[in-house]
Amino acid sequence: MTKYFEDFAVGEVIDLGSVEVTEAAIIEFAMAFDPQPFHIDPEAAMDTPFGGLIASGWHTCALFMRLMCDGMLNDSSSQGSSGMEELRWLKPVRPGDTLTGHYTVLDAQRSSTKPHRGTIKFRSEMLNQDDEIVLRMIGRGQYGTRDTVEA
């Protein structure tokens, strides 16, 4: 069932599922996109302030995006995003961590200039297996309204 703008309720929390982070995935992502020693070399990472290999924050964002697509966006009337107001990496993500995503609706405003869509202000978080927040984003997404289908 497609989730339209009208289906989002302020305060609603949407659980997006979980993903396990492997050492191989951390290194593969980092080699392609963020080849800093604490992301690509377990030995060198021991001598950094992190004391071991950690995932790139961008890798954590990509993992969240996958959970959000599978857990909500692909079954919604999503029309993209105007961007993030906040992006924070609060704790390192390490090999073996299991991350769980949540999408919380903070506000919902129908567009006054584009009546067939509305904007959802949201807070997205990923928590590790110890319920520690490792990633927090606040942003806005555009969603079609039910009457988009008729427009």
Q: Are 127 and 100 in contact (CB under 8 A)?
A: yes
Q: Is 89 helix (H, G, I), strand (E, B) or coil?
A: strand
pLDDT tens sequence across 59-86: 999 999 999 999 999 999 999 999 999 9
The reported pLDDT for the residue numbered 149 is 55
Q: What average pLDDT does the chain have?
A: 96
- Domain for residue 66, yes or no? yes
Where residue 111 sits, what CATH number does that domain have?
Answer: 3.10.129.10
Q: Are 124 and 103 in contact (CB under 8 A)?
A: yes
Beta bridge partner(s), residue 14: 103
- Domain for residue 134, yes or no? yes
- List the one residue out of 150, 141, 128 whose CA is nearest residue 8: 141
- Domain for residue 47, yes or no? no
Q: What is the pTM of this model?
A: 0.93
- Give the confidence band of 1 by pLDDT, cuts at 50, 70, 90: confident
Q: Which domain holds residue 70?
A: 5-20+56-148
Q: Provide the number of structural domains found in the chain.
A: 1
- Domain for residue 130, yes or no? yes
Over residues 113-136, the mean pLDDT reads: 97
- Domain for residue 36, yes or no? no
Q: Are 68 and 16 in contact (CB under 8 A)?
A: yes
- Give the confidence band of 123 by pLDDT, cuts at 50, 70, 90: very high
- Domain for residue 26, yes or no? no
Residue 85, both tokens:
């107001």
In this model, does residue 148 exceed pLDDT 70? no
- Give the confidence band of 147 by pLDDT, cuts at 50, 70, 90: confident
- Domain for residue 13, yes or no? yes
Distance separating alpha carbons of residues 132 and 123, to the nearest angstrom: 16
- List the one residue out of 40, 38, 41 whose CA is nearest residue 50: 38
